[in-house]
Amino acid sequence: MLEGPAGRFGARGEAQSLYVQDPDGNTVELRWYPQDVTE
């Protein structure tokens, strides 16, 4: 893991995200929008 989890703001509102690096060296953001979760 390169960074996170951390709060971020984007087009869909508040989110939690973290950054990882894949085997080829690309940085990938994993983002979760808590307000979109339905129980």
> Are the C-beta atoms of 10 and 28 separated by less than 8 Å?
no
> What's the pLDDT at 8?
94
Task: State the DSSP string of 1-39.
Answer: --EEEEEEEETTEEEEEEEEE-TTS-EEEEEE-GGG---
Domain boundaries, the chain: 3-36
Each residue's pLDDT, cut to its tens digit, for the chain (39 residues) gives: 899 899 999 888 999 999 999 999 999 999 999 888 787
Contacts of 16-25 with C-beta under 8 Å, sequence gap 24+, read none
Q: What is the reported pLDDT for 17?
A: 95
pLDDT computed for residue 18 by the predictor: 96
| pTM attached to this predicted model | 0.72
| pLDDT confidence of residue 11 | 86
What's the pLDDT at 35? 82
